[in-house]
Amino acid sequence: MSDYGHPLTFGSFLTPGNADPMLPVGLAMLSEQVGLDLVTFQDHPYQPAFLDTWTLLSFVAARTERVRLSANVTNLPLRPPAVLARSVASLDLLSGGRTELGLGAGAFWDAIEAMGGRRLSPGQGVRALEEAIEIIRQIWDVDARGGVRVAGEFHQAAGAKRGPAPAHDVGIWLGAYKPRMLALTGRRADGWLPSLAYLQPGDLARGNEIIDEAADGAGRSPADVRRLLNVNGRFTASGRGPLNGPAEQWAEELADLALTEGISTFILASDDPDDLRRFAAEVAPATRELVAAERAAPPTGVPAGPGRTATDPTGASADQTRTATDRAVTTNGTRSSTTSAGPTARPTTVGAAPFAVVPTPDDGVRRSDVRVWDEAARPAGPAPDPQRTYTAHEQAGAQHLIDVHDGLRAELAQIHDLIEQVAAGLIDVGTARSHINTMTMRQNKWTLGTYCESYCRVVTTHHTIEDRSLFPHLRRSDPRLKPVIDRLEEEHHAIHDVLEGVDRALVAFVATQDGMADLRAAVDLLSDTLLSHLAYEERELVEPIARLGAH
């Protein structure tokens, strides 16, 4: 049994298809909006149906602000290590320290060779990968003296200049399956990244044993190597097999992998938006809670084993606990933040506790003289029962509303930025409209709210009415909420009209001499209405969602 004590993280493994180039970009943005920690893409440079992964990662980095990014895994035979090192460091600097490096020795050798790569045997591939890691680490080590020198059999560097250094300590994660690759992972890598679909029963335990032994032999702790895993499956109403069942089953199975096999990062291989939402909203919080409960109560008399560390109630090791910082919305609609931990870093409460979810307040700043509605006429819902306590599952459901809203606030900041780029002549109106039309707030059209349908599949123990949206459920469950729900739905329609006004102003900008003034006025009005509405919705609904659930 191995539990290396790392905090749990969750990510997506997306296909970089080029038939609709914005589709993988939109899925990456969705991954961030729903609270996943990591976005990864396949890297197959010889596949003409795919976008180039490193170009795609750069584009996605510019469209996101919190989620970490990586190839899964980088095709080393077609990417020279010295150039790759500078690419990774550059993207890490540009993204604010959000880039990781998944590496593979190569697999599809006919295709690699057809692209000009050298065909290698399995043993040669391992040696080439180890040489590449040495070159990459030397490039990043700007404090060492002299140039980069590696006289390898497959990769060489003869005095190359060092740098740039990445913005943070980039993790090197190896896609390893065979003993030599696993041993290399233990000696030199920061993470092990296999795919569950390619593993046989017992392979995780055997892989951990080889990695741990190699790490010990290299003078490292086995806990220095994070264990990541690509997973795939199906969400169904009843259990039909491993990772083929309801979210509760997924959470139990992933928690078991965390506690018995040491897996601390789970990456869902799916291009289905609904799967990504359920993975983030239901599976991730429930898995964290199960692991935290187990870690908080180790068996009496059983000392921590090799690589096992004391943990806090969130499931993070004592020296790796991450703290989330409250995020504020500035007057121009952008978010300020002192942490990149994001929504999934919030502590999970084990058992019942007082309500601790804090809505984002309305700062009262208004940029426009136009008023779409009378804020003073907004009805209020029932006051919460001060004696009631809430489980971690209930509070996670309420917190998810704020997390979804944070994604919309981030999109608002992007709209402001796009308008300024149009004003500066950096992009044209068509490009700005294209970006805005792919945003969640635009596609949502505000007719169902920001938390309905697939968004409202939050962490609950029963999913009995999955085809009904949040608002009808809240009306039925607590009739006192009806005036609030009616008002929120009215505001959703009004916001849709305001968004239409932004689009019309963009079109008119081309033909109007003073079009920029009207365009800025339309975006100011969007800021006022959106931020006011989100604050009102959170104020009135976070506690009812926790108390009544989403279905």
> Is the distance from CB of 186 to CB of 207 less than 8 angstroms?
no
Mean model confidence pLDDT for the chain: 83
pLDDT of 363 reads 87
Task: Please tell me whether the overall predicted TM-score, pTM, comes out greater than 0.75 for this model.
Answer: no
Please list the residues that pair with 379 across neighbouring strands.
none
pLDDT of 105 reads 95
Average pLDDT score over residue span 184-191: 98
pLDDT of 252 reads 94
pLDDT of 288 reads 92
pLDDT at 60 over 80: yes
Query: CA nearest 141: which of 169, 99, 102?
Result: 169
pLDDT at 465 over 60: no
pLDDT at 329 over 50: no
pLDDT of 323 reads 30
At 421, is the pLDDT very low, low, confident or very high (cuts 50, 70, 90)? confident
Tokens of 418: 């796009």
**Residues, the chain:** 551
pLDDT at 341 over 70: no
pLDDT of 493 reads 85
Query: CA nearest 253: which of 382, 244, 429?
Result: 244
CATH 3.20.20.30 fits 9-296, yes or no: yes
Tokens of 80: 């020279």
pLDDT at 318 over 50: no
Tokens of 153: 């059999």
394 vs 461: which has the higher pLDDT = 394
Residue 191, classed as helix, strand or coil, is: strand
Omega within 30 of 0 (cis) for the link into 303: no
- Which CATH code is given to the segment(s) 354-548? 1.20.120
pLDDT at 231 over 60: yes
Distance CA 158, CA 144 (A): 15
Average pLDDT score over residue span 335-362: 56
Q: How far is CA 201 from CA 204, 254, 261, 402, in A?
A: 8, 15, 12, 40
pLDDT of 452 reads 35
Tell me if 9-296 shares its fold with 354-548.
no
* Pairing between β-strand 263-269 and β-strand 9-14 as defined by DSSP bridges: parallel
Residue 548, classed as helix, strand or coil, is: helix
**What are the structural domain ranges in the chain?**
9-296, 354-548
Distance CA 408, CA 426 (A): 24
Cβ-based burial of 33 (10 A; exposed 0-12, middle 13-18, buried ≥19): buried
pLDDT at 440 over 70: no
pLDDT of 93 reads 97
Query: CA nearest 401: which of 438, 361, 359?
Result: 359
Average pLDDT score over residue span 402-428: 82
Q: Which pLDDT tens digit goes with each residue over 374-392?
A: 999 999 999 999 899 998 8
> Is the distance from CB of 272 to CB of 31 less than 8 angstroms?
no
CB neighbour list of residue 97: distance below 8 Å, 6 or more residues apart: 166, 167, 168, 340
At 344, is the pLDDT very low, low, confident or very high (cuts 50, 70, 90)? very low
pLDDT of 100 reads 98
Distance CA 206, CA 219 (A): 20
Tokens of 240: 């039909």
For the residues of 204-253, what is the DSSP string, one character each? HHHHHHHHHHHHHHTT--GGGSEEEEEE--EE-SS--BTTEE-HHHHHHH
pLDDT at 443 over 90: no
Distance CA 172, CA 201 (A): 26
pLDDT of 316 reads 39
pLDDT of 70 reads 98
Q: Which pLDDT tens digit goes with each residue over 123-178?
A: 999 999 999 999 999 999 999 999 999 999 999 999 999 999 999 999 999 999 99
Q: Which residue has the tokens 């010889």?
A: 46
| E runs forming strands in 242-392 | 244-245, 263-269, 328-329, 335-336
pLDDT of 422 reads 82
**Cβ atoms within 10 Å, residue 169:** 12
- Where does residue 159 fall: left (phi above 0), alpha (psi -120 to 50 degrees), or beta otherwise? left
At 78, is the pLDDT very low, low, confident or very high (cuts 50, 70, 90)? very high
pLDDT of 466 reads 27
Query: CA nearest 11: which of 106, 98, 110?
Result: 98
SS3 content of the chain, % helix, strand, coil (to 5): 50, 10, 40
Percent of the chain with pLDDT over 70: 84
Distance CA 370, CA 29 (A): 31
Average pLDDT score over residue span 439-468: 38
> Is the distance from CB of 72 to CB of 230 less than 8 angstroms?
yes
Q: Which pLDDT tens digit goes with each residue over 260-302?
A: 999 999 999 999 988 999 999 899 999 999 999 888 865 555 5
CB neighbour list of residue 223: distance below 8 Å, 6 or more residues apart: 4, 5, 6, 307, 308, 309, 317
Query: CA nearest 368: which of 487, 484, 502, 496?
Result: 502
pLDDT of 315 reads 39
Q: Which helix (H) or strand (E) holds 14?
A: strand 9-14
At 336, is the pLDDT very low, low, confident or very high (cuts 50, 70, 90)? very low
Query: CA nearest 246: which of 55, 464, 406, 402?
Result: 464
